[in-house]
Amino acid sequence: DAKTTQPPSMDCAEGRAANLPCNHSTISGNEYVYWYRQIHSQGPQYIIHGLKNNETNEMASLIITEDRKSSTLILPHATLRDTAVYYCIVRVGTTNAGKSTFGDGTTLTVKP
Amino acid sequence: DVKVTQSSRYLVKRTGEKVFLECVQDMDHENMFWYRQDPGLGLRLIYFSYDVKMKEKGDIPEGYSVSREKKERFSLILESASTNQTSMYLCASSKQGLGHSPLHFGNGTRLTVT
């Protein structure tokens, strides 16, 4: 699985959009981009994923560049409850497990 | 909703003890994973399994073994616990197959070895 690079920390004002970048320059054609977040003392929670196209769900939007070497997770109206560590990983969906390697993630702090 | 349940939230064990961490998922997922999480080191994969009785080593398997006798249950075993195995342990599961397959995590077991 390809490796990802994320900034260690970011701040965002409550109510504003939070844009979290991720670099995955060695991504392969069959690897999906997944985003998870981990709130203190809980397990990571799945947010969104994508292959080539931009995606949106009730939690967030995912923008993937045309060359697929980077992506941005967008939380459109950040709240204090969005303060968490956000992980970007790339992962193959295959018939076996497909190991997923989590880096250090980005600690997002939403401030009032 | 997918539920991944880890049997204990907190465990305290002594050095040399045999420790079992249990994980159960209720969504008929083929794949199950064990990670440990330590400050500054992120999540590191210990073992994973893609079928009953099948297992594969992750990035840090030393000192651990696993058991998958039933599809819904994946156990992590510390044969002889050591203080450097004090950590947060996270279990996850996912559906097998082509295409996308998110990981679903439990809430973790915080193990302290004294």
- Residue B30 DSSP class: S
CA distances from B71 to A88, A100, A112 (A): 28, 20, 45
The yes-or-no verdict on residue A95 having pLDDT over 50 is no
CA distance B92 to chain A (A): 9
- Calpha distance A50→A72 (Å, rounded): 11
pLDDT for the residue B96: 78
Interface A-B, measured as beta-carbon pairs within 8 A, has a size of 69
Q: In whole angstroms, give the CA distance from residue B65 to residue A89.
A: 25
Helices (H), B1-114: none
Which segment of A57-71, A76-90, B96-110 scores lowest on mean pLDDT?
B96-110
Query: What mean pLDDT is predicted for residues A67-91?
Result: 94
- Which residue has tokens 């994320």? A6
CA-based nearest residue to A93, from A44, A45, A22, A28: A28
The string of pLDDT tens digits covering residues B32-64 is 999 999 988 888 999 999 899 899 999 899 999
Chain A residues near residue B33 by CB distance under 8 angstroms: 97, 100
Residues of A with CB under 8 A from a CB of B: 32, 34, 36, 41-46, 49, 51, 87, 91, 93-105
Q: pLDDT value at position B107?
A: 93
List the beta bridge partners of residue B17: none
Backbone angles phi, psi at B64, to 5 degrees: -125, 155
Nearest to B102 among A43, A46, A51 (CB): A46
